[in-house]
């Protein structure tokens, strides 16, 4: 598995008689941000739990090319001490992972919590707490980072801060496995995405590849008076349409690309909520 940080083959898990993951096969390359997308109940968190050895697969295999202390996790059940300060919490995590305390200040500045370092966790806002959880997940400079919906129900400003940090971590060669419902986030951050539906992977690729693969068969011409004409993506048809309206000024011509949410919907008949 050269250059692969994660490789799964026919990975499956059942809880009792309920099959939650059904033969999923995918790889995550070193240093990429891999988006694992799917609606609620698709099996995203379960996959992270198997990859981080919190659950054992029923059949199939998975290889993760990172030792336990080289992995960082941010998930729903990540916890911090509510009565301790931001600073003390991060020091505690640094000690746990035998990381030099000098990084505490660096990471707190990175997640923009340095000015709030003396606040108790119980007095933090939701966005601040999420940034602290992220700080705890990256304090030991993991080479592989699992993020289970890191920006779910955060405000746009905090979301943007987190996005910037994730792009910086990728530059520093951290591999990131990210689950999200937010297709714009996936499009913005991910090198590749996998669509998971009812425990099965229905598509994998770069956002660009998927948009081209499922591109609509038409082009949109918008004139200055805002009138839009949609024509088949065919030279003759486009020329004809342009000739027909050759007195009008054109505002834009673009091919009609679907976004990731539309692709998911067309593949599964389901919204990504
Ligand atoms: N320990 C368990 N025992 C029984 N069923 C489970 C267990 N863990 C997960 N499931 C079931 O597996 C399915 C997938 O759950 P999972 O948490 O992986 O979904 P998800 O894609 O992360 O959804 P969400 O977007 O809501 O977080 C759900 O139907 C859930 O009820
Ligand atoms: Mg989940």
* Length of the chain in terms of residues written: 273
Region 175-191: mean pLDDT is: 95
Q: Does residue 60 register a pLDDT over 50?
A: yes
Can you read off the two tokens belonging to residue 7?
């490789």
Secondary element (H or E) of residue 219: strand 218-223
Q: Does residue 273 register a pLDDT over 70?
A: no
Can you read off the two tokens belonging to residue 41?
């109940």
Question: Which tens digit of pLDDT belongs to each residue from 201-232?
Answer: 999 999 999 998 888 888 889 999 988 888 88
Per-residue model confidence (pLDDT) at position 121: 97
Q: Which ligand is nearest to the CA of 180?
A: 1
217 vs 99, residue with greater confidence: 99
Label the pairing between strands 192-197 and 218-223: unpaired
Per-residue model confidence (pLDDT) at position 78: 86
Q: Does residue 271 register a pLDDT over 80?
A: no
Q: How many CA atoms lie within 13 A of 253 on its CB side?
A: 11
pLDDT band at 194 (very low <50, low <70, confident <90, very high): very high
Among 159, 177, 195, 194, which Cα is nearest to 272's? 195
Most informative mutation of 38, 39, 41, 177 for ligand 1 (most atoms within 8 A of CB): 41
Distance, CA 263 to ligand 2 centroid (Å)? 21
Per-residue model confidence (pLDDT) at position 272: 66
Among 4, 42, 48, which Cα is nearest to 181's? 42
Could you identify the residue written with the tokens 């999420």? 130
Per-residue CA distances from 221 to 119, 240, 245 (Å): 55, 12, 11
Region 93-121: mean pLDDT is: 96
Q: Does residue 1 register a pLDDT over 50?
A: no
Q: What average pLDDT does the chain have?
A: 93
33 vs 220, residue with greater confidence: 33
Distance, CA 266 to ligand 1 centroid (Å)? 23
Distance, CA 73 to ligand 1 centroid (Å)? 18
Find the helix packing angle between 86-96 and 102-110, rounded to 10°.
120
Per-residue model confidence (pLDDT) at position 189: 97
Label the pairing between strands 250-255 and 18-29: unpaired
Find the helix packing angle between 102-110 and 126-138, rounded to 10°.
140
Per-residue model confidence (pLDDT) at position 67: 96
Cβ of 8 below 6 Å from ligand 1:
no
pLDDT band at 87 (very low <50, low <70, confident <90, very high): very high
Range from 35-44, 134-143, 187-196, 246-255 carrying the lowest mean pLDDT: 246-255
Among 34, 140, 164, 158, which Cα is nearest to 90's? 140
| 3-state secondary structure labels for all residues of 102-123 | HHHHHHHHHCCCHHHCCCEHHH
Q: Does residue 109 register a pLDDT over 80?
A: yes
């Amino acid at each position: 598995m050269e250059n692969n940080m994660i490789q799964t083959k026919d990975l499956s898990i059942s809880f009792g008689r309920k099959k939650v993951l059904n033969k999923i096969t995918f790889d995550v390359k070193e240093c990429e941000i891999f988006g694992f997308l799917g609606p609620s109940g698709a099996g995203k968190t379960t996959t992270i739990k198997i990859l981080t050895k919190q659950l054992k697969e029923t059949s199939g295999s998975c290889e993760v090319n990172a030792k336990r202390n080289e992995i960082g996790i941010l998930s729903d059940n990540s916890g911090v001490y509510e009565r301790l300060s931001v600073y003390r919490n991060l020091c505690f995590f640094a000690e746990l992972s035998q990381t030099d305390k000098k990084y505490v200040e660096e990471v707190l500045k990175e997640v923009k919590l340095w000015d709030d370092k003396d606040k108790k966790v119980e007095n933090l806002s939701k966005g601040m707490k999420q940034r602290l959880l992220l700080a705890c997940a990256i304090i030991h400079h993991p080479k592989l980072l699992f993020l289970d919906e890191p920006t779910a129900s955060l405000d746009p400003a905090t979301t943007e801060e987190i996005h910037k940090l994730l792009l910086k971590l990728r530059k520093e060669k951290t591999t990131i496995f990210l689950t999200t419902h937010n297709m714009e986030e996936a499009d913005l951050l991910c090198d590749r995405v996998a669509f998971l539906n009812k425990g099965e992977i229905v598509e994998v690729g770069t956002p660009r590849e998927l948009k081209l693969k499922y591109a609509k068969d038409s082009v949109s011409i918008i004139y200055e008076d805002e009138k839009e004409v949609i024509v088949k993506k065919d030279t003759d048809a486009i020329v004809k349409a342009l000739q027909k309206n050759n007195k009008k000024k054109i505002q834009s011509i673009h091919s009609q690309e679907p976004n990731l949410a539309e692709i998911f919907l067309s593949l599964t008949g389901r919204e990504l909520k």
